[in-house]
Amino acid sequence: MARTYVARGNDKINVSHSALIDLSGAAVAQTVMEHFTRAAMIEKINILYVEASSADAGVALKVGREGDDDGYYTGTSAVSQNAWDEVNVTPLAKLINAGDSLTYLCAGSKTGTGTVIITVEWRFVE
């Protein structure tokens, strides 16, 4: 788990990110990215391609919470991305309740190459 703070106007935006995910490696089981003791709102979800991804079919990526592994995002990794490409994806829901843990997972076993980090920008709800 890692968190960065970004000042954006009067809001304090927090950025949590996954560990490095090897798309062609073993599946990544549901892993906690951040635990919330207060309610928060998701502002943005990005997939950062740290290593270029090959043209082979993508694999499933999910962002959710315990008990609902795809509550915030479910999709497939993009193909033929360059290193350091960032893909902004649309959250399915934005509210994170107090007591929830933000999680991610990856199906793994991509035929070709690709490594990503999932980032989630969020702010506390006052």
Distance, in Å, from the CA atom of 79 to the CA atom of 56, rounded to the nearest integer, reads 6
Distance, in Å, from the CA atom of 94 to the CA atom of 46, rounded to the nearest integer, reads 14
Distance, in Å, from the CA atom of 92 to the CA atom of 115, rounded to the nearest integer, reads 23
Q: Kindly report the pTM of this predicted structure.
A: 0.89
What does DSSP assign to residue 53? -
C-alpha count within 13 angstroms, C-beta hemisphere, residue 112: 14
pLDDT in tens, the chain (126 residues): 555 656 555 678 999 999 999 999 999 999 999 999 999 999 999 999 999 999 999 999 999 998 899 999 999 999 999 999 999 999 999 999 999 999 999 999 988 899 999 999 999 997
Domain assignments of the chain as residue spans, ordered by start = 3-124
Distance, in Å, from the CA atom of 99 to the CA atom of 90, rounded to the nearest integer, reads 23
Distance, in Å, from the CA atom of 99 to the CA atom of 22, rounded to the nearest integer, reads 29
How long is the chain? 126
The CATH topology of domain 3-124 is Jelly Rolls (2.60.120)
